[in-house]
A and B are shown apart, each in its own frame.
Chain A
């Protein structure tokens, strides 16, 4: 079970990796979304705000109306944001549950794929 501090550290690294990746920024230039995350084992919730492909905030709690809601356990979230696991494999096994359009779900995975192609 990962703590909020561990999650925050992972989110901070993920944000920096995304925002400094030129190819990803170009690919996601038309992607403005609000993502809600729910950690199923700790009940921790947080939000990710993406504006034109740039992650502009990852505050605790749920803010705004979401385009996508992602639910999984805290360890999976940590590994996912550190780029240590392949989100698609977890998703196809039903370990990560997502609410949102198929296109947004794919975009979310594309972020991990572009910044960590070997994960």
Chain B
């Protein structure tokens, strides 16, 4: 059958390159990215982290190529399910997708925590009040989602460009501020080669989720819009993150950054005093608009679709009078609040960065492997074809697996140590997903089938006459409804 996205269909509301690029960059650039930069600095001595981000950005060109071709083959919001399913099988696709979706909860919880911590810091409130801010933020986001409030595309675009531009401007001011210094800017692999690799692996996290823009393929103005966004968004993130890292390494001592949940406020303070701190606080709060809007929307609609398909309990597909899957939204909000409370109680926010980095590297490795398999299975035309695709897909599978292990065994709280904690968290999440797909999904499907059998719902469509009439031409004799 014909595929959407390959033909020229003009929709009343469609997404162009600027909006798609902003969507992609906005999905990737959350408040947790500021901590991602600090995690890079833990492994890259002095100012050498800019090299790690640069190498990470080069690797994103490969990722953008892989996702562009996969998106060209399956230009749909369900793309990841489709290409993983066709390449690796339905069960593996479901397991991976369920695990992948936990990153959404992780990012929502992390952002709620980081914004709460930043607000508490600037308002000089007791530490305990941070969780109150977290609860308020999540409650507001949940209420807005339940009422069916969706940020207009242009607001998302403006918010994203304001966040990126503001971060860049404050960083440039910090870079040219007197009194700082750049130490060892080329020393990425100088101290320990493995640390350099881990720094690059953490740099990949800065771009995490930029590929989610493929879920908007069905509203793109043309087949090349998503590909362009996939290549342009990493450029914006690369430029902003590099400037932020250089600003931090120039003006803020690493000892002050390492155990802080708000390095962006420290940079603002160091560059422009209280004005800079308030400016960066406002920017941090703005990132929540994209994270909460995009995160709740993507994840709750995924849960709704999985429940409608029969892979999650049907209760999760229940809609309120605003056509919002309210059980799914409330479940997400509760899970995020619980996770944010755990982060708040344990102070393990850097572990979240390592878990996110490992998961993303794993997804990039799986996407590369899927492309390799689908190159053999699907020979139809696509709007984008990665040059040297087979070789690059093999390289991508190997490189991102190694980077996944590098962050999976990292201890961002103490870069001189290894810790299996990030990998263990992911293995536990994957095991729960696999167990659910193997044991839970058949039960849910059996219960659905039993419910339908009990309802004894006959087919509503009238039986067709035995002699089938040839299809009539509606343009000759149009029928009125």
Chain A: residues with CB nearer than 8 A to chain B?
1-6, 8-13, 15, 23, 26-28, 31, 34, 38, 40, 42, 44-46, 55, 57-61, 65-69, 71-74, 78-79, 82-84, 86, 88-89, 91-95, 97-103, 105-107, 109-110, 113-114, 118-119
Contact = CB atoms under 8 A, between A and B. Distances in A.
A82 to B, nearest CB: 4
A102 B481 contact: no
Interface of A is mostly: mixed
Given A58-B481, A99-B219, A118-B455, A73 B1 contact: yes
B387 interface: no
7 contacts: A3-B471, A71-B2, A82-B459, A89-B309, A91-B78, A105-B77, A109-B308
Contacts of A3: 469-472
Interface string B159-185: 000000000000000000000000000
A79 B473 CA distance: 20
Nearest to A66: B11
B102 to A, nearest CB: 20
B15 to A, nearest CB: 8
A114 B2 CA distance: 28
Given A27-B319, A92-B81, A10 B457 contact: no
B311 to A, nearest CB: 9
A99 B9 contact: yes
Contact of A100 (B218, B309, B459): B218
Given A98-B4, A102-B301, A59 B481 contact: yes
Given A92-B78, A95-B1, A98-B218, A8 B11 contact: no
A8 B451 CA distance: 30
Contacts of A4: 471-474, 479
A5 B469 contact: yes
A27 B461 contact: no
Interface string B271-303: 000000000000000000000000001000100
B11 A67 contact: yes
Given A12-B481, A71-B1, A102 B319 contact: no
Nearest to B77: A102
A3 B468 CA distance: 9
Given A13-B460, A27-B321, 6 more contacts: A8-B481, A9-B462, A28-B323, A79-B461, A118-B452, A118-B457
Interface in B171-221: 215-216, 218-219
Interface residues of B, number: 54
Contact of A8 (B5, B77, B470, B479): B479
Nearest to A81: B461
B304 interface: yes
A6 B478 CA distance: 13
Nearest to B314: A117
B466 interface: no
B410 to A, nearest CB: 35
B251 interface: no
B1 A110 contact: no
Contacts of B322: 27
B8 to A, nearest CB: 11
B309 A86 contact: yes
A84 B11 contact: no
A7 B481 CA distance: 10
B462 A94 contact: no
B475 interface: yes
Given A8-B479, A103-B150, A89 B319 contact: no
Contacts of B2: 38, 40, 71, 97
A103 B10 CA distance: 18
Nearest to A65: B12
Nearest to A36: B9
B301 A26 contact: no
Contacts of A13: 460
B10 A65 contact: yes
B281 to A, nearest CB: 31
B323 A27 contact: yes
Contact of B305 (A34, A68, A92, A95): A92
Contacts of A27: 319, 321-323
Interface in B441-481: 451-452, 455, 457, 459-462, 464, 468-475, 478-481
Given A82-B459, A99-B4, A113-B308, A69 B11 contact: yes
Given A98-B76, A102-B215, A66 B9 contact: yes
Contacts of B364: none
B310 interface: yes
B82 interface: yes
Given A1-B471, A86-B308, A88-B309, A113 B481 contact: no
B13 interface: yes
Contact of A97 (B76, B317, B460, B471): B76
B481 A15 contact: yes
Nearest to B479: A8
Nearest to B86: A94
B131 interface: no
